[in-house]
Amino acid sequence: MNTAGTTNIRVGTKVKLINLKHEDKELNGMTGTVTHPFAIGKTAKGWVGIYVDSNCITPYGAKLNVHESEIEVLN
């Protein structure tokens, strides 16, 4: 099983961003696909990379790192 980072979440899993706070709270509800954490952000235990869906616009571009507690698995 190809899991993202140090999590049990499979690479390619469709997710929705939830529980983001402060300046990132506007990202809640956006969807994307899980991959390994990107070197551009936090990569510690429990973090995954997200390729944000093309209909979602973030201040970070099309990819970002989030903690596994900040995603809801959709598939």
Q: What average pLDDT does range 43-68 have in this prediction?
A: 90
Residue 71 has a pLDDT of 98
The answer to whether residue 26 sits within a structural domain is yes
**Chain segment 2-52, per-residue pLDDT in tens:** 999 999 999 999 999 999 999 999 999 999 999 999 987 677 899 999 999
> Could you give the CA distance from residue 63 to residue 13 in angstroms, rounded to a whole number?
15
The domain tally of the chain equals 1
The answer to whether residue 22 sits within a structural domain is yes
Contacts of 29 (CB under 8 A, 6+ apart): 16, 17, 18
Cα torsion 12, 25, 63, 32: sign: positive
> Could you give the CA distance from residue 2 to residue 54 in angstroms, rounded to a whole number?
24
The answer to whether residue 12 sits within a structural domain is yes
The answer to whether residue 71 sits within a structural domain is no
The answer to whether residue 67 sits within a structural domain is no
The answer to whether residue 11 sits within a structural domain is yes
Residue 36 has a pLDDT of 94
Range of the domain at 45: 1-49
The answer to whether residue 65 sits within a structural domain is no
| pTM of the predicted model over 0.95 | no
The answer to whether residue 54 sits within a structural domain is no
